[in-house]
């Protein structure tokens, strides 16, 4: 195991008699974007909740750069370098875009000055600095998704977990998200786990894809190979292909 990597080893979780995750292992390297696919009920949300510290696994370990994170709450994992975005976005509508992004750093104890500098830098990297003075509640859904990403990156994570960042995006907005992920990879260098139902976006953004089905990891490899894998087709893609 790469000592610089983010590693989940044989993660298991049950709710009563229901086995939600069964010995799921995943490794993410710095600067790598890994896609996590699977049908509804596959265990994806439970898995990333465990990685980020929102749920506790029954078995297995979560390690970042050689340091076990088991037992740490989400805020402690954030300080260890694990950031997460949520499907809802959770922006503060009455704060400006710049203030929302700065909160990502302030939440980890950075000074207001450092937080403002990070906010400015990250918004410039993503090419949305013109949104800085606007109230977050006044911007488009697509821009709000980018601002949510920027806020997570303001925490200077080593690894970023993204929960369906393309949810609700139209055909014009999705390419902007794809470009933003590439900019984060090139300029920030953090490893990323992309949980997403948009298969086309995942295959374009990710160098590797893992697929969960009924709590079992059924594929880990090249995105194009995933599209042609019989187990993946049966469990998730069916005859639909990529849209």
Q: What is the pTM of this model?
A: 0.92
pLDDT at 242: 46
Does 243 score more than 80 pLDDT? no
Contact criterion met (CB below 8 Å) for 159 and 124: no
pLDDT at residue 240 above 60?
no
What would the mean pLDDT of 184-192 be, rounded to a whole number?
94
Strand partners, 26: 8
Taking residues 109-127, what's their average pLDDT? Answer: 95
Q: What is the mean pLDDT of residues 92-120?
A: 95
> Who contacts 151 (Cβ-Cβ below 8 Å, separation ≥6)?
91, 100, 101, 103, 104
- Percent of the chain at pLDDT above 90? 86
pLDDT, tens only, 166-177: 988 888 899 999
41-82: per-residue pLDDT in tens?
A: 999 999 999 999 999 999 999 999 999 999 999 999 999 999
CA-to-CA distance for 66 and 222, rounded, in angstroms? 26
- Pick from 84, 25, 29, 22: nearest CA to 53: 84
């Amino acid at each position: 195991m790469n000592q610089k990597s983010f590693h989940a080893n044989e993660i298991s979780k049950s709710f009563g008699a229901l086995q939600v995750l069964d010995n799921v292992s995943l490794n993410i390297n710095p600067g790598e974007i890994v896609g996590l696919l699977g049908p509804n009920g596959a265990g994806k949300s439970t898995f990333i909740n465990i990685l980020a510290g929102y749920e506790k696994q029954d078995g297995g370990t979560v390690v970042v750069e050689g340091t076990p994170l088991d037992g740490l709450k989400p805020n402690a994992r954030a300080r260890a370098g694990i950031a997460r975005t949520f499907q809802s976005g959770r922006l503060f509508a009455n704060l400006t875009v710049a203030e929302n992004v700065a909160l990502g750093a302030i939440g980890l104890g950075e000074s207001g000055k450092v937080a403002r500098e990070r906010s400015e830098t990250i918004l410039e990297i993503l090419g949305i600095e013109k949104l800085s003075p606007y109230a977050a509640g006044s911007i488009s859904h697509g821009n709000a998704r980018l601002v949510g990403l920027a806020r997570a990156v303001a925490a200077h994570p080593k690894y970023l977990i993204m929960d369906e960042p393309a949810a609700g995006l139209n055909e014009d907005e999705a390419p902007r998200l794809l470009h933003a992920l590439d900019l984060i990879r090139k300029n920030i260098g953090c490893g990323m786990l992309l949980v997403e139902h948009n298969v086309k976006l995942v295959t374009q953004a990710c160098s590797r894809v893992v697929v969960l089905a009924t709590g079992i990891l059924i594929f880990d490899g090249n995105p194009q190979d995933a599209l042609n894998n019989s187990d993946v087709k049966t469990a998730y893609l069916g005859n639909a292909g990529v849209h």
